[in-house]
Amino acid sequence: MNKNMIKQAQQLQKRMMQLQEELESATAEGSAGGGVVKVVVTGKMVVQSIKIDPEAVSKEEVEILEDLVLTAVNDAIDKSQEMANAKMSALTGGMKIPGLM
C-alpha cells in the first residue's frame, strides 16, 4: 500500500466516524392513521418519541391504536434506514464496503 492509499483510508475512516455522529442526532419521522400516531427514530434506529393524538384513544379502539403505533414505528425505522444508507452511499461514493450498513 502506498502512502496515498493509506492517507485516503484514514480520511475515509475519519469521515465515517463523523457520519456515525451525525446519524446519532439525525431523525426520521414516521406516521400512521393520517398523522394520528407519529414516531421519531434516530439515524441509529433508536425510537426517540411516540406522539398519539388524544382523539385516537378509546377503550374500544385499543387494538386499532396498537396497529397504528406499530405501523408508525416501522415507517420511521424504514425512513431512518433510508437516510443512513443515503448518507453512507454519499460518503463511499456508492461503493459497497463489507461491514458497513
- Residue 77, Cα to own-chain centre: how many angstroms? 5
Name residue, grid cell 377503550.
59
The alpha-helical segments, DSSP class H, found in the chain are 3-25, 62-92
Q: What is the pLDDT of residue 34?
A: 92
Q: What is the pLDDT of residue 4?
A: 84
Q: What is the pLDDT of residue 59?
A: 77
Topology (CATH level 3) of domain 3-92: Ybab; Chain: A; (3.30.1310)
d(CA 71, CA 76): 9
User: Nearest-5° angle of CA 86, CA 87, CA 92?
Assistant: 95
Contact predicate 97/89, CB 8 Å: no
Q: What is the pLDDT of residue 94?
A: 65
Tens place of pLDDT for every residue, the chain, 101 residues? 688 888 888 888 888 888 888 888 888 899 988 998 899 988 888 888 899 888 878 878 888 888 888 898 889 889 888 888 888 888 777 666 655 54
Q: Which residues face 37 on adjacent strands? A: 32, 52
Contact predicate 85/72, CB 8 Å: no
pTM recorded for the entire structure: 0.61
